[in-house]
Amino acid sequence: MKKVLILNISTDSRNTSLGFAISWLNAFAKKFDEVHVVSLSKGDDEDLETNIILSSIDNELGRIRKFINLFKIINKLSKSNKYEFCLSHMSSLMLIISSPILKMRKIKSIFWYTHKGPDDYLKKIFLLKASIYSNKIITASENSFPYKKLFNNKNKLHVIGHAIKFDEFYRKIKNFNSKDFVIVSRISESKKIEESILGFLNSELGSSHNLSIIGGPLSSKDEAYCEKLKLKYESIENINFLGSIPHRNLINEISNLSFHINNTEQGFYDKSVLETMSHGLINFYSNSDYDDLLPKKYIDKFKFDGSSESLSNKISNIGNLKQDEINEIINYSQSKLEKQSVNNLVERVLAII
């Protein structure tokens, strides 16, 4: 019986940012007899396949007791089950805590990390340690792993793309209409939400179109930023904060929209860009890692420098594109993104072991 152990931060289909983890787990469930998951946070898990066994940490426990409990759960599972490998998704601490157990039981560890990296010094140390302890590191894009230079030449770091529900998000666009805008993102200063709002409002489409922001804060700092934005823009009728929505409902929310804005810097590789592109939305972006998803001749039409002024100019000039040019862009993006489908995620992971 083939089994795999997966460690993750959250298993919750109602979480806009992390709800996609459900589809990842289900992808592994199709290839393995059993998928054992240890999660730091458990929410709505009704969409999980029946051969997925979920263990979670009690949120009421203090930090030290949480780590002790996590160690005990992983130790018990690995003692009574033979795993092909262990995949740790975005959690440095979970991999560090489990590392002695995995090495003792000769279970290979794979560390998935796609982010520009933490700002906190201690978290940087944890990330570096997790990277050293793991057997393999996988990331989504060329610049989405912060310690790339340390591990690039050791056959340890592998760029495998992201894993989205391409088949579900895919929508063939026959006639593109200039409808409204959306930002699908965690509400955080690092995502430059306000710069994007201002870029939209100051563009030629800023008074004739609407902008919806889908997503919510994760930290207390994010919450303060989110409340500040809501208060500042509450009197502007065409700016709407919709909050977090279940990831399974995202398609319904974006189906009547035409444009998505992503203002993240290099290091991020947000699946919201990939999902909205798959659904036929035109993306304005500032991160060069998305260049590969557009025909080269059109990159300058949509890529801005991160400032609100640059974004305004790009949005204002969208009307200069012809219908057949927009169709060409959408078809090209969709053909590239099919390769980053969750349907082939497991094969891509297994290929690097």
Query: What's the rounded mean pLDDT across residues 49-73?
Result: 90
Residue 7 lies in a domain: yes
84 pLDDT band, cuts 50/70/90, is: very high
- Do 199 and 77 have their domain in common? no
Share in percent of the chain as helix, strand, coil (round to 5): 45, 20, 35
Residues 227 and 182 in one domain: yes
Helix ranges, 134-219 (H): 148-151, 166-169, 193-201
**What pLDDT shows up at residue 17?**
61
Mean pLDDT, the chain, as a whole number? Answer: 94
CATH code, domain with 280: 3.40.50.2000
At 324, which amino acid appears? Answer: D
Average pLDDT over residues 238-244: 96
Q: What angle do CA 47, 49, 45 make, to 5 degrees?
A: 35
Residue 174 has pLDDT above 90, yes or no: no
Looking at residue 223, its pLDDT comes to 96
> Residue 59 pLDDT more than 90?
no
CA nearest to 59, candidates 44, 42, 71, 76: 42
> Would you say residue 350 lies in a domain?
no
Q: Is residue 149 part of a domain?
A: yes
Structural domain that includes position 199: 166-339
Our count of domains for the chain comes to 2
At 86, is the secondary structure helix, strand, or coil? strand
Prediction pTM value: 0.90
Per-residue pLDDT reduced to its tens digit, 340-350: 999 999 999 99
The last residue of a domain, from among 159, 180, 199: 159
Does some domain include residue 349?
A: no
Decide the pairing of beta strands 34-42 and 109-112.
unpaired
102-129: pLDDT as tens digits: 999 999 999 999 999 998 999 999 999 9
Q: 176: which residues sit within 8 A by CB, 6+ positions away?
A: 258, 280, 282, 323, 326, 327, 330
| Domain presence at residue 115 | yes
pLDDT digits (tens, 9 = 90+) for 183-218: 999 999 999 999 999 999 999 999 999 999 999 998
257-313 residue pLDDT tens: 999 999 999 999 999 999 999 999 999 999 999 999 999 999 999 999 999 999 999
* Rounded mean pLDDT, 17-45: 89
Query: What confidence tier does 101 reach under pLDDT thresholds 50, 70, 90?
Result: very high
Q: Which residues contact 239 (CB under 8 A, 6 or more apart)?
A: 197, 201, 210, 211, 213, 233
Residue 344 maps to a domain: no
Kindly provide the residue ranges of all beta strands, DSSP E only, lying in the chain, ordered along the sequence: 3-11, 34-42, 52-56, 86-89, 109-112, 136-139, 157-159, 180-184, 211-214, 239-243, 257-262, 282-285
